[in-house]
Structures are given as structure tokens and as C-alpha cells.
């Protein structure tokens, strides 16, 4: 079953002094996210990621379209008992301590009073917020607030978690911990939907991603599929600084770095390259198929769009 089905959600804001000028924040969006997957929602700033998330959370009303979450209408308040949400750059009631905040959110989410205290301790430990008892949130750093935000999103053990820019404000160690946490959530059978513009995080974590720009979906698919449309080339790495002539003859593009050589050559020359290295008695370290990175795919999508825009502008002129 699909955890999320977005069926043509779209949003147009009326802007200007008299609210007469329409500004489309999201074109009709059709998207499906399977249960148990980590799904990345990628796009540059202002692409429409947060608008989509806000509509799914019922914070912003769509101009048209509908959605289903965990098989039910997304407007059904009871669905919300099974989802967790971390907003972008979260800000909480700063007069509360982390324990009080989580207790309040636990009450609102229907976490039973019995065992709530223990659950709060577990969750705080899980996000690395220990030793914060009695400390009001106004004294928290940005990274600590982000952790508190993640804690409130998973407090009630939701089946589906929405994270809006979860790595924002975190140091490299914190980012790593959040990545680990998201993988753990997946192992627990939960669905994770997160928006980001940090592509390396998405590439490392996601089963599937969708790319959105200027409110329009530009591509969607499994990370392997999006990144394997390359080139048909392999990278061969061997020990030493010698580049045999036979390798050059195969059309390899070789670079010597320290005491290793990296050569990129067509995939159909792979066997010949291995034979050549064997003949020269050179120690082979690795052969890896070259893939496009998600970043390259993303940049390509953005560039295509820019090109289309400039062509349209040219026609208009």
C-alpha cells in the first residue's frame, strides 16, 4: 500500500496589495510514496517543497487536488495520530523544557500517560539530548532545537514521518546521527519522507527521490535508476605509478595520485584492461562502474529547465 498518494495537489497564492495577482507555488503534483521507504523530496530553495509538506499537514489549503495518507483522506485528523512532522527550522515554546514540550506534544498526540515519561526519556536519548532536564528551550542551541524537533516528530511512534530539511543547523556529527536515525526508522518499518537540498544526504539515504523546481515535478525514481544512466564507463584503480602503454592504447584516461593510478575507460574495454594489468604483473585494487551522482542528475535537470526557459524567452523576443 502507498503511504502517501498525492493526487494533483496544487497551490496558487493571491499576492499584491489587493490579493488580485495569482502566484503559483505548486503546479498539480502527482506523487506516490510506498510504505517503508525513505523518500527524498529534492529541490532548490523556493521550489515548493515546504508548501507541499504544509499542505499534507493541513497547515495550508490546496487550490485543487487531494491526497491520501496511510490509505485515508489526508484531512482526517485521526491520520495525524500516525504521522510525525518536523518543520523547517523548528521553533518551540521556549518557556518549556524539552521534557515539558514532549509531554505536551505527547498529550496532544494521545500518548498514554502511563509510560509517557519513559517514552520521553527514550526519545531524548535517541536524538542525543541527554542532560537537558530543567533547561528551558530558549537556552538551546540551533542544533539542540533541531534534535528536540526530531524527538517530537517520533515521540508518538508514528508510522510515517515527514522531515522538512532535517539536517539544517546540524554539525557533521549531528547530520550523521540523523542519517543513522532515519535508517533505523526505516528498519523499524516506518516510512520517511524528507525534503532537502543537500543532495549527498539524499543519495546516501533515499530509496527513491523526487526533484521539484519552481513548483513543478521534474523527475522521480529510484536513486539507482536516476544515477545509472551513465556513460557506460568503468574506473580501474591499480597500485603503483606506472601507466602501461597497453592501457593507453585502450583509450584509458589515466591519473596518478600518490602510489595509485586511476583510469577511466569504456566498459567494453574492461576485460582487456584487466588482461593488460595482469601481463604487466601490476596489482589491481578496484574496478567500479562509473555512475552519475545525484548531484549531476539534479544539475542536469535544472540546466535543461534553464535552457527551455531561455529558448522560450528567445521565441517571445
The minimum distance between CB 143 and other proteins, in angstroms, equals 18
DSSP-assigned letter for residue 244: -
Give the one residue of 30, 73, 107, 224 binding other proteins; rule: CB under 8 A: 107
Which of 44/110 has CB closer to other proteins? 110
539507482: which residue's cell?
Answer: 224
Instruction: Choose the binding region for other proteins from 27-35, 105-113, 188-196, 210-218 (rule: CB under 8 A).
Output: 105-113
Q: How many CA within 13 A on the CB side of residue 106?
A: 21
Q: Which distant-in-sequence residues (6+ apart) come within 8 Å of 140 by Cβ? A: 98, 132, 148
Give the one residue of 54, 68, 208, 218 binding other proteins; rule: CB under 8 A: 54
The minimum distance between CB 125 and other proteins, in angstroms, equals 20
The minimum distance between CB 137 and other proteins, in angstroms, equals 10
Instruction: Choose the binding region for other proteins from 1-9, 57-65, 119-127, 287-295 (rule: CB under 8 A).
Output: 57-65
Instruction: Look at strands 208-213 and 38-42 and give their pairing.
Output: parallel
Contacts to other proteins from residues 141-160, by CB under 8 A: 149, 152
The minimum distance between CB 276 and other proteins, in angstroms, equals 60
DSSP-assigned letter for residue 214: T
Which of 25/226 has CB closer to other proteins? 25
196: left (phi over 0), alpha (psi -120 to 50) or beta: beta
Report the C-alpha dihedral over residues 263, 269, 271, 276, rounded to 10 degrees.
Answer: -60
Q: How many residues bind other proteins (CB under 8 A)?
A: 30
Give the one residue of 29, 38, 67, 83 binding other proteins; rule: CB under 8 A: 83
Contact between 231 and 290 under an 8 Å Cβ cutoff? The reply is: yes
Closest CA to 74 of 92, 60, 91: 60
Q: Under the rule (CB under 8 A), what is the footprint of other proteins? A: 13, 54, 57-61, 77-78, 80-81, 83, 85, 87, 89-93, 95-96, 104-105, 107-110, 149, 152, 162
Amino acid at each position: 500500500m502507498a503511504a502517501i498518494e498525492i493526487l494533483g495537489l496544487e497551490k496558487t497564492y493571491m499576492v499584491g496589495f489587493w490579493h488580485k495577482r495569482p502566484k503559483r507555488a505548486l503546479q498539480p503534483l502527482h506523487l506516490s510514496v510506498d510504505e517503508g521507504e525513505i523518500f527524498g523530496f529534492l529541490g532548490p530553495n523556493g521550489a515548493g517543497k515546504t508548501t507541499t509538506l504544509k499542505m499534507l499537514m493541513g497547515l495550508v489549503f490546496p487550490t485543487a487536488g487531494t491526497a491520501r495518507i496511510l490509505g485515508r483522506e489526508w484531512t482526517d485528523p485521526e491520520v495525524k495520530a500516525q504521522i510525525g512532522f518536523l518543520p523547517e527550522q523548528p521553533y518551540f515554546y521556549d518557556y518549556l523544557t524539552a521534557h515539558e514540550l514532549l509531554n505536551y506534544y505527547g498529550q496532544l498526540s494521545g500518548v498514554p500517560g502511563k509510560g509517557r515519561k519513559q517514552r520521553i526519556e527514550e526519545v531524548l536519548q535517541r536524538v542525543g539530548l541527554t542532560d537537558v532536564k530543567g533547561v528551558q528551550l530558549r537556552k538551546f542551541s540551533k542544533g539542540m532545537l533541531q534534535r528536540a524537533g526530531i524527538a517530537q516528530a517520533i515521540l508518538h511512534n508514528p508510522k510515517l514521518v515527514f522531515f522538512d530539511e532535517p539536517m539544517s543547523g546540524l554539525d557533521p556529527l549531528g547530520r550523521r546521527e540523523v542519517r543513522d536515525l532515519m535508517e533505523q526508522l526505516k528498519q523499524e518499518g516506518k516510512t520517511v519522507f524528507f525534503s532537502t537540498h543537500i543532495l549527498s544526504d539524499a543519495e546516501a539515504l533515499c530509496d527513491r527521490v523526487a526533484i521539484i523546481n519552481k513548483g513543478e515535478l521534474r523527475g522521480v525514481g529510484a536513486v539507482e535508476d536516476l544515477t545509472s544512466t551513465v556513460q557506460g564507463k568503468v574506473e580501474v584503480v591499480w597500485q603503483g605509478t606506472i601507466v602501461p602503454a597497453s592501457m593507453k592504447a585502450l583509450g584509458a584516461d589515466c591519473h596518478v595520485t600518490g602510489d595509485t593510478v586511476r583510469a577511466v575507460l569504456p566498459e567494453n574495454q574492461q576485460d582487456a584492461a584487466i588482461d593488460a594489468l595482469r601481463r604487466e604483473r601490476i596489482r589491481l585494487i578496484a574496478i567500479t562502474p562509473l555512475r552519475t551522482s545525484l548531484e549531476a542528475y539534479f544539475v542536469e535537470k535544472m540546466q535543461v529547465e534553464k535552457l527551455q526557459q531561455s529558448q522560450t524567452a528567445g521565441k517571445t523576443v
